[in-house]
């Protein structure tokens, strides 16, 4: 039985969808003014696995991940580049999709944009003003009145008085309380703007998600996800907006993935330890990066370090090596397996514990290796099929094993030379010319080739 750690209750709860057999999930997506970084990759991979597992359990999942395509950073970057906002955002949406595709992340079912959601945003702001929860300030901005929402702070666990004590109203703001947040920004010269009952302007960041989630999934839906950094104030403000507008609970389960750290320091541009997905993928296979992300529980901090990436790549290589020489049993349902399947389900049912699920898969790999050593072909085929079916849930083993280990042979100009050296080495070993055999192994190693002798044959892969 699936249990999810609910950030709202701060404990694991048995998952029960609002509608039997149906799950509606909204995840805060990217603000598209730059390339995705490792933190974005974690969000994408984590909630991709949540979606995959829910579907494996038989749920009909509608997964919504929004795109913020208008805000201060986007306006500033477009001006710096001397390009239109639309050109900038469309370019980085394409770059985001490229990174997500490389990481094996399935496209969300719906991907609404803020600029295409103005009617819903305007309607929600009007509703909040009509209920006395928001007001138009003297500078033309519209603010949410936090003092009117008694439950403010329930997600983050923060007390309003404590929050207010640490906040100040900026000189250029006209809000009446330091905790009040902007719903609609009055237009500034040279900035894009839309018509509204309060004059030309554009939406604040928080209102976008409340409007888009309600439009796509309804006023009350099952799961809302995002990074831990969004829990306050963004998601706290979403609750105030959505529940204030609709007079009902907006979300049943709030999920937040942990921070990414770089060599045990918080990832930050100011510290110079900020990595884009594109930079990481230039050094490591995309699937190894995905494996690395899944090797920690999603709520735990994820420490990005080269040795961690190397370990992930080595672990993935061991899996592919075991799968290389076996034809897996097709159309295998892992949920029917009483041993490994039950353990895998137990791990994933425990708040999507992918780290534990990977350890179960490692046990399957060891059993597969033993079956291969004992020439138990049927058992090996079954275990290989089991591994691949687990992999489908985690988005792993999506490549042919030979391709992962060796590369595209059609484009590999060294392949024939490598095969010839291996034939020569095997002959040298047959002739007991150990010195020549060792020399060839060293030559292949210098070429970045690892050779492995097993079951009476020699195979090779890229180091």
Residues placed in the known binding site for Zn(2+): 28, 209, 234, 238
Instruction: Check: CB of residue 300 under 8 Å from CB of residue 260.
Output: no
CB count within 10 Å of CB 111 equals 17
Residue found by looking up tokens 């095997």 in the block: 426
Instruction: Check: CB of residue 207 under 8 Å from CB of residue 125.
Output: yes
Instruction: Check: CB of residue 99 under 8 Å from CB of residue 37.
Output: no
Instruction: Check: CB of residue 41 under 8 Å from CB of residue 293.
Output: yes
Please give the Cα distance from 385 to 11 (Å, whole number).
35
Torsion from C-alpha of 203, 209, 210, 212, nearest 10 degrees? 90
Q: Where are the alpha helices (DSSP H) in 324-433?
A: 340-349, 354-373, 377-394, 401-406, 415-430
Chain-centroid distance of CA 439 in Å reads 45
Long-range residue pairs from 6-12, CB within 8 A, at least 24 positions apart, any chain: 6/252, 6/253, 6/254, 6/255, 7/155, 7/231, 7/254, 7/255, 7/256, 8/154, 8/155, 8/251, 8/253, 8/254, 10/157, 12/350, 12/351
- Annotated binding-site residue numbers: 28, 209, 234, 238, 269
- Annotated binding-site residue numbers for ATP: 269
Instruction: Check: CB of residue 41 under 8 Å from CB of residue 99.
Output: yes
């Amino acid at each position: 039985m699936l249990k999810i750690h609910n950030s709202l209750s701060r404990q694991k709860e048995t998952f029960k969808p609002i509608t039997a057999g149906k799950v509606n999930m909204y995840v805060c997506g990217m603000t598209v003014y730059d390339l995705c970084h490792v933190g974005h990759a974690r969000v994408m991979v984590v909630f991709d696995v949540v979606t995959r597992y829910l579907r494996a359990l038989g749920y009909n999942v509608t997964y919504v991940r929004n795109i913020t395509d208008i805000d201060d950073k986007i306006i500033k970057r477009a001006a710096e580049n001397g390009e239109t906002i639309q050109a900038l955002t469309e370019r980085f949406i394409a770059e985001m999709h490229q990174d997500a595709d490389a990481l094996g992340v399935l496209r969300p079912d719906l991907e609404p944009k803020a600029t295409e959601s103005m009617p819903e945003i305007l309607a929600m702001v009007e509703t909040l003003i009509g209920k006395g929860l928001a007001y138009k300030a003297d500078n033309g901005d519209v603010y949410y009145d936090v003092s009117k929402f008694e439950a403010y702070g329930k997600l983050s666990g923060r007390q309003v008085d404590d929050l207010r004590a640490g906040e100040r109203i900026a000189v250029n703001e006209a809000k009446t309380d330091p905790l009040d947040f902007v719903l609609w920004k009055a237009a500034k010269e040279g900035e894009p703007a839309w018509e509204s009952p309060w004059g030309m302007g554009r939406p604040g960041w928080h209102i976008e998600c409340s409007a888009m989630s309600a439009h796509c999934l309804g006023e009350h839906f099952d799961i809302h996800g995002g990074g831990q950094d969004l829990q306050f104030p963004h998601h706290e403000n979403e609750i105030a907006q959505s529940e204030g507008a609709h007079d009902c609970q907006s979300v049943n389960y709030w999920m937040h993935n942990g921070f990414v750290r770089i060599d045990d320091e918080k990832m930050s541009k100011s510290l110079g330890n900020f990595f884009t997905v594109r930079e990481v993928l230039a050094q490591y296979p995309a699937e190894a990066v995905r494996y690395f992300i899944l090797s920690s529980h999603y709520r735990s901090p994820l420490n990005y370090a080269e040795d961690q990436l190397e370990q992930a790549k080595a672990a993935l290589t061991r899996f592919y090596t075991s799968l290389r020489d076996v034809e897996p049993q097709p159309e295998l349902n892992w949920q029917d397996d009483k041993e490994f399947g039950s353990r895998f389900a137990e791990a994933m049912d425990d708040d999507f514990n992918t780290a534990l699920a990977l350890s179960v898969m490692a046990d399957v790999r060891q059993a597969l290796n033993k079956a291969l050593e004992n020439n138990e072909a049927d058992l090996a085929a079954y275990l290989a099929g089991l591994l691949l079916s687990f992999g489908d849930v985690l988005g792993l083993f999506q490549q042919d094993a030979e391709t992962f280990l060796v590369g595209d042979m059609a484009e590999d100009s060294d392949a024939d030379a490598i095969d010839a050296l291996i034939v020569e080495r095997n002959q040298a070993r047959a002739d007991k010319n150990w010195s020549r055999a060792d020399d060839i192994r060293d030559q292949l190693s210098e070429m970045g080739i690892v050779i492995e002798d097993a079951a009476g044959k020699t195979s090779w892969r890229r180091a």
